[in-house]
Structure formats: structure tokens, C-alpha cells
Amino acid sequence: MPDHDNAYRQTMNQISALMDLMRPMINHVGHFTEALGRHDVEFNKIGRHFHDLRQDMITLRTGQMQIKSELAEFKADITIRLDAIFIRLDEIESTGVRNETAIRNLASEMVLQHNTILNALQDSHNNKLALEQLEERLSELEREVRQLRRN
């Protein structure tokens, strides 16, 4: 049995040496497991950040679509208002042209009336001169008739 004890001891020594060699490897495996745990935590954090980023991107896209919609409404509103302004400006221009035509017609009519008044004044003055000449002539005739009656 000594061989058997010797073999047993030798086997135990080898197992002991193998265990001594495995301890650093087990420690390394433990460190790797800890590192994997830390990496797993970090990956979870990155996953949460990625999820938050995705939610933020969705929120931004929603906001962007809302802004586009508001800009489209604003553009439509501005277009309607500008069209109304242009229509009003056309109406004002048309009214201005009509007023200009009316003013020109009134100015022409005023010139005609002014000329009519001047002609009437001229005729009145000529009539007055003619009346004065007639009155002088009548006075002369009356004098002549009086002289003839006296004679």
C-alpha cells in the first residue's frame, strides 16, 4: 500500500498544485466577472440614455412637425391678408383714378363756367356801354326835339 499512499499523495500534491495554479485564474475570472458586471451596468445606463435620446428625438420630430404646421398656417394667413391688402390697394387705386377723372371733369366744367361768367360780364359791360350810348343819343335827340319845338 505504500505505493498506493505514495500515488495518493502524489495525486493530492498534483491536485494541490493544480488548485494553486487555478487560484490566480479563478481570481482573474472573478475580476472578469466583476468587470462584466460593471460593463453590464454601463450597458444598461447606455441603453437608458439611448432610450431617453430616442424619446427626445421623437419629441423633437413632433415639435418640428408642429412648427411646420404652424408655419404653414402662418403662411396661409399671411397670404390671405396680403391678398386682402392687394385687393384694397386696387380698390384705392381705382377710386383714385375715378376721383382724378371727376376732378378733371370738375376743373373743365369750372373753366367753362368761368368763361361763361366772363362772357356774361363782358356782355353786361358791352350792354352798359351800349345803354350809355343810347342814353346819350336819346338825350341828344330829346335836346334836338326840344330845340326844334322851341324853334
> What is the full per-residue pLDDT of the chain (151 aa) written as tens digits?
567 788 888 888 888 888 888 888 888 888 988 888 888 889 999 999 999 999 999 999 999 999 999 999 999 999 999 999 999 999 999 999 999 999 999 999 999 999 999 999 999 999 999 999 999 999 999 999 999 888 7
The single-letter code of the amino acid at 67 is I
Q: Is residue 144 part of a domain?
A: no
Total domains in the chain come to 1
Q: Is residue 137 part of a domain?
A: no
Domain that holds residue 74: 1-126
Q: Is residue 132 part of a domain?
A: no
Q: Is residue 45 part of a domain?
A: yes
Q: Is residue 89 part of a domain?
A: yes
Residue showing cell 351800349: 130
What is the Rg, in whole angstroms, of the alpha carbon atoms belonging to the chain?
63
For residue 8, the model assigns a pLDDT of: 86
Q: Is residue 99 part of a domain?
A: yes
Residue showing cell 358791352: 126
For residue 9, the model assigns a pLDDT of: 87
- Which three cell numbers mark 142? 330829346
Q: Is residue 142 part of a domain?
A: no
For residue 1, the model assigns a pLDDT of: 55
Q: Is residue 139 part of a domain?
A: no
115 alpha carbon, distance to own chain's centre: 56
For residue 37, the model assigns a pLDDT of: 85
Give CA angle at 108 (102, 109), nearest 5°. Answer: 85
Instruction: Kindly write down the DSSP assignment for every residue of 69-118, as one continuous string.
Output: HHHHHHHHHHHHHHHHHHHHHHHHHHHHHHHHHHHHHHHHHHHHHHHHHH
